[in-house]
Chains A and B, each alone.
Chain A
């Protein structure tokens, strides 16, 4: 629980960081196991190549598809979730505003 005087950038960054890690975790949880169980000759007997849109299907569904979904989630997160916090001003910025 954050105190009422807590810095809003700190509070919001922490909250946003957790969601970012969840998105990373989802990508990881989908990509690595899917590719391992469908694309590795070491895990499948008589492994055969199947293709989707000209690339190996395990790459398409294991990497290209989650890449697209992660991209969409990243964009949505930036548009609707990450807050526009005031980051303050450093002393060395003062000459700029003169």
Chain B
């Protein structure tokens, strides 16, 4: 399936002021990287490059931790889920109420202390030194590289989509996209790649790779601080704008309560005229009315690529609006002003209907323009849970869209897959609600990319004050995000097939509606900042794993600092470039990948790290066993879904519980069973890490 270009987001133009905001922001990032690079001189290179010399103060530590955790998912995948399922996402994300306390407080002091005692710079370093086991360190390194590389690709995709939203109406960018398009034309690899997306990927990826490579950990931390501020400012601006445009919270929630989930299907369009060159069509609404006066309203999703000299395009994902109130409102805004003479009669299986097609962007202003085409609609599917009923967007377990069918799925199994059966129970049945309360706070504690930050704060006092800061910070971001994007359903209906773009679309719509388009730049900078701060951290964690854990500690322990330095720069550059190339044809579901990676890392790392920090009897074999069992069970539950014909990222459950809970349980049981029957760790190591100096 082609990766859909987000060009429809900016039917309204991003003002040049928005571009300026973005350019200033980018410039600041590079200034910061320049300062950070100066810090590298005169210090232990590895410790400074990968860990900031363990000297982070309160603001730097708190905001780098918060910004890294926030990730692109918070501003792309999470809003998409809120848009699709409604208020239930407040329960889905609820364990963020204790997230900072758990993720920073549970392991913080101890992991920091053990890393100082052993001189560890990376998490595999800690694991290896605690038991003096080279194999354990290598296994941990491989798992980190596997999971984070996967996530890096998804984050690159998110960053590129956001950037494209901002710049696509700029003529220089359109020229660039056109040039790129002609350059890659004929290469099979680029067949299904939108040239605009590709250009943005290269700009975004290049930017992050260069400043991370050049500046190292301090560049990442300081840019995180700036990005953390940008994120909270973005939310603070969006919330009042949203509330003012939907008439307040009460009115918004009441409207959501009246919503009926849409139906999803496909359409084939026949244009009145072909054009000599290829073109993309966005934001097309089709109104259809039968002879009895029954009205239907459809929105064609994504960018529709019309090849040169072609008039017919097939298989266009389409959303049919089902809420009578919404149809009435949209009809009044978009359709009624057009004369009867502009409608086209169409013969369908159900009899004769009349149709009109309108191109209309997201702002309230303007009526939209007519486009000459006739649409024929294929089979439409109802939601698997909540179809045809009101009230599901304000209650649990919340609406669940129909699963997208793949050719493989049809071939492999005649009946419903386990994932489809689960979907019929709604988005968040009880078992999943329990799983997600574990997922965020508990599994967040087991993420090596956050643990490495716990090795970098200066002292205990910094940790305490940072937990307070992040607690307040997350309170200011996550609950308001739920409010904003619940109501985005009202402001931007019909985006179910392209919900990953709801954040930038809202940024543009909200600001243009109040006549301050320049603010869109700042708002779009928020998710952009979130993605950047995650990507740069992941890049460093991966390159540190390879340089420190594989090269320095296993291949060449006596390598000179100059060699290590060159290798650090080179590895960061190469890993970033590989991820960038993979992101040219990226996986489709961003949030699912983020959940897969987050839960997978927790399954592997949480209990082994807890055991080695707090259990004197723990040993390398027991912890490694727990790590591999956690990995295996987690992978098996995803692979089983794929084997049954479902999506790999939509795993099977066990007793209604998600893989993270099951694999964490398996991991702790494995550690508890293996450790007592395997040899103890040496007394010397126990004394070093569990007794006062």
Spell out A's residues near B (CB within 8 Å).
3, 5-10, 12-14, 16-17, 20-21, 23-24, 27-28, 31-32, 35-36, 39-42, 47, 49, 51, 53-56, 58-59, 62-64, 66-68, 70-71, 73-75, 77-79, 82-93, 95-96
Contacts and interface: CB of A to CB of B under 8 A. Distances in A.
B518 interface: no
Interface string B381-397: 00000000001101111
B660 to A, nearest CB: 14
Contacts of B472: 71
A63 to B, nearest CB: 5
A95 B95 contact: no
Contact of B471 (A21, A42, A51, A74): A74
A12 B109 contact: yes
Contacts of A24: 95, 98, 101-102, 441-442
B268 to A, nearest CB: 37
9 shortest A-B CB distances, which residue pairs?
Answer: A54-B249, A92-B47, A40-B396, A67-B97, A70-B97, A54-B250, A90-B116, A92-B44, A13-B110
B54 interface: yes
B110 A41 contact: no
Contacts of A70: 97-98, 101
Interface string B72-88: 00000000000000011
A91 B529 CA distance: 34
B394 A7 contact: no
Contacts of B692: 5-8
A13 to B, nearest CB: 4
Contacts of B47: 90, 92-93
Contacts of B468: 74-75, 78-79
Interface in B89-119: 90-91, 94-98, 100-102, 105-107, 109-110, 112-113, 115-117, 119
Nearest to A67: B97
Contacts of A66: 94, 97
Interface in B392-415: 392, 394-397
A96 B119 CA distance: 15
B248 A54 contact: yes
B426 interface: yes
B141 to A, nearest CB: 20
5 contacts: A10-B614, A35-B91, A35-B433, A82-B467, A90-B54
B465 A42 contact: no
Contacts of B249: 53-55
A96 B467 CA distance: 26
A7 B691 contact: yes
B112 A87 contact: yes
B252 A54 contact: yes
A49 B109 contact: no
Contact of A51 (B250, B690, B691): B250
Contact of A55 (B87, B107, B113, B460): B87
Interface string B471-498: 1100100010001000000000000000
Residue from the set A12, A62, A63 with the largest chain B CB neighbour count within 10 Å: A63
B614 A51 contact: no
B257 interface: yes
A84 B98 contact: no
Contact of B119 (A10, A67, A91): A91
A90 B472 CA distance: 31
Interface string B656-693: 00000000000000000000000000000000011111
B312 interface: no
Given A28-B434, A64-B479, 8 more contacts: A9-B110, A32-B94, A49-B254, A51-B254, A59-B90, A75-B471, A78-B467, A88-B113
A40 B113 contact: no
B460 A56 contact: no
Contacts of A85: 109, 113, 460
Interface in B420-478: 426, 429-430, 433-434, 437, 441-442, 459-461, 463-465, 467-468, 471-472, 475
A65 B558 CA distance: 56
